[in-house]
Structure 1
Amino acid sequence: MNVLVTGGAGFIGGHISEQLAANGHQITVIDKFVPYYDLGIKDRNVEAARRAAEQGDGSYTLVEGSINDTELVNELVAEADVIYHQAAQAGVRESVEQPETVNEYNVDGTVTILEAARKHDVSRVVVASSSSVYGKPEYLPYDEDHPTTPVSPYGVSKLATEQYARVYNEIYGLPTVSLRYFTVYGPRMRPNMAMTNFVSRCLHDEPPVIYGTGEQTRDFTYVDDIRRVNEQLLTDDSADGEIMNVGSTDNIDIRTLAEVIRDEIDPSLEIVYDDARTGDAEHTHSDVSKANELLGYKPTVDIREGVRKFIDWYHENREWYDPLVRNS
């Protein structure tokens, strides 16, 4: 099957591309390679997917370009059976500083993808959304009926993204599915996340730094679970037209996360606190009943197991992944 992955050199898009290439599919990736973080990590994602394609009788083609380039997008979509739309300007805090950029790429770029998919009769578009659409919780865990009142431009852009996908399904009959990710983590994740910061500091004998009280909670989802449900949607039409949570249901507060990571690496370290960051949600916690009912989705990796797996991977890849090692 011909699969187009937008943002396919990124963390989640890279894992999706790698998995599908390993299973013999023809993968085309479009990625703008914005230096939001070290591009060497994206290069590793590309290498992993290319290697998987070679070993799995698939194919892998990388196109460096923007999803806002209408001509290029139409050219690529014309050859695609299914699109995984993972491209986005990520980062809650950055969106507070650059809301216009986030809107241009996340919202306008999504419309460009959906319009091309409609014109070329694509079989399905799977859209990456985010738990950031919920904002301040009226109750937990979040189900899909919870009010969506995002507290950052990034959350607003993701809400617009999934609603455009829904409308394209309802008006034009384009098969779309939007997945609300809950703090995805794992190998090759973005290095500017709380988990990577905690691990890196502890490995360098520095205390983990918590922004805020540490009472904030997150539903951390291991990337293998995200990759698995995306792969299922390649052929499963059970969720067409739907918006749904895909999380871990394994809620943990940031203080406990820091303690778990510290205790795995160096229990003698103290934990340091700093001012809270603007735009960060206080709590996320997913109810995945809908995804379970429609797709049989069940998370398989709990946070403590996932942390251990990530720390092991980090140890093995410090030379190129750890920013302090890489830049020394």
Structure 2
Amino acid sequence: MRILVTGGAGFVGGHLAERFTADGHDVVVLDNLNDFYSPEIKRHTVEQCRAVADAGDGSYEFVGGDVRDADLVADLVTDADYVYHQAGQAGVRPSVQNPREYDEVNVDGTLNVLDACRDEGIERFVMASSSSVYGTLNYLPYDEEHPTEPVSPYGASKLAAERYACSYSEVYDLPVVALRYFTVYGPRMRPNMAISNFVSRCVNGDPPVIYGDGTQTRDFTYIDDVIDANVRLLSEDAADGEAVNIGSTDNISITTLAEHVRDRIAPDLELVYDDPKDADAEHTHADTSKAEALLDYEPEYTIREGVDAFVDWYDENRDWYEPLVLSS
């Protein structure tokens, strides 16, 4: 299978590219290695994927470029059977300062990929959406029928992108699936996320810093479960034209999360609280029954199990990962 992964040097995209390569597929990655967080983490991912390709039957090619380059995107899609569109400008809080960049990358960039996929007639287009599309809370857990009222420019851009994708499925008969991720974490994750911040601070003897009163709750999803959901779409076609939640089995308050990390690493530390950040959701929790019905999706990791797995990985990879976390 020939698979194009946009944003394939990033966190989710990098794990997808590694998995597809390990499974013997021919993988092409498009990524601009932007500096939203350390590009060295992304370069490490690229080298990891190349090593996997060298050791197995799959092939791997990295292409430096941007989804805003419509001609480049069209050239790469020409040789693809499947396109996994993971490229995007991430970050709820930074989107408040620069909403137009999020529109250019997340909306216009997605349209470039969609147009190329439509013109080439690929087998399936799978895109990364976000729980941020829900925004204003009406009830929990969020199911896919919950109103979509994003409260950040980031959430608005992801909703616009997935709605374009689903409309292309309807109008152009393009097989499309939008996966709404709920706060993905795990090895090689972005340094500026709560879990990586809590872990890095605790292993260095600094207390976890919680923004707000800590009663906010999150549905954190371990990377292996997210990859499993994506891989299923190489064979499953029941979800075409749909937006589908990909979450964990539960949710957790930020204070409880910080306490779990602290107790695992440095039990004597006290928690520190600071002012809340703009545009952060108060609560998230995924109803994954649609993913279970359409994709046979069953997340294997509880949040505590996933955090423990990340702490173990952090300890094993601290020599290269931690300096990049602390410098971001």
TM-score by shorter chain over 0.5: yes
Equivalent residue for 2:280? 280
- How many Å separate the matches in 1 of 2:229 and 2:52? 19
Equivalent residue for 2:292? 292
Share of identical aligned residues, percent? Answer: 60
- How many Å separate the matches in 2 of 1:324 and 1:156? 30
Check the 8 A contact 1:319/1:325 in 2, yes or no: no
Deviations 1:117-170 (A, max 9, x none): 000111100010000000121000000000000010000001011101100000
Check the 8 A contact 2:249/2:301 in 1, yes or no: no
Deviations 1:162-221 (A, max 9, x none): 101100000000000000000000000000000011001111111100000101100010
Q: TM-score, normalised by structure 2?
A: 0.98
Check the 8 A contact 1:95/1:102 in 2, yes or no: yes
Q: Could you tell me which amino acid in structure 1 is paired with residue 302 of structure 2?
A: D
Equivalent residue for 1:49? 49
**Moved segments of 4+, more than 6 Å:** none
* Closer, same or farther: CA 272–26 of 1 in aligned 2, 3 Å: same
Check the 8 A contact 1:136/1:283 in 2, yes or no: no
* Closer, same or farther: CA 72–324 of 1 in aligned 2, 3 Å: closer
How much has 1:324 moved relative to structure 2?
A: 7.2
Check the 8 A contact 2:238/2:295 in 1, yes or no: yes
Equivalent residue for 2:29? 29
- How many Å separate the matches in 2 of 1:157 and 1:239? 22
Whether 1:219 and 2:201 are equivalent positions in the alignment is no
- How many Å separate the matches in 2 of 1:300 and 1:276? 31
Which stretch shows the higher mean deviation, 297-306 or 7-16? 297-306
How much has 1:249 moved relative to structure 2?
A: 2.8
Which stretch shows the higher mean deviation, 241-250 or 103-112? 241-250
Q: Could you tell me which amino acid in structure 1 is paired with residue 79 of structure 2?
A: E
- How many Å separate the matches in 2 of 1:190 and 1:326? 11
Whether 1:263 and 2:263 are equivalent positions in the alignment is yes
Equivalent residue for 1:121? 121
Deviations 1:205-264 (A, max 9, x none): 111000001011000100000101111101221111111101003100000000000000
* Closer, same or farther: CA 323–124 of 1 in aligned 2, 3 Å: same
Check the 8 A contact 1:28/1:61 in 2, yes or no: yes
Equivalent residue for 1:88? 88
Which stretch shows the higher mean deviation, 243-252 or 50-59? 50-59
Q: Could you tell me which amino acid in structure 1 is paired with residue 181 of structure 2?
A: Y
Query: SS of the counterpart of 1:84?
Result: strand
Query: SS of the counterpart of 1:322?
Result: helix
Equivalent residue for 1:150? 150
**Number of aligned residue pairs:** 327
Give ranges in structure 1 of 5+ residues lacking alignment. Answer: none
CA RMSD of aligned residues (A): 1.0
Give ranges in structure 2 of 5+ residues lacking alignment. Answer: none
* Closer, same or farther: CA 294–324 of 1 in aligned 2, 3 Å: closer
Q: Could you tell me which amino acid in structure 2 is paired with residue 201 of structure 1?
A: R
How much has 1:326 moved relative to structure 2?
A: 6.9
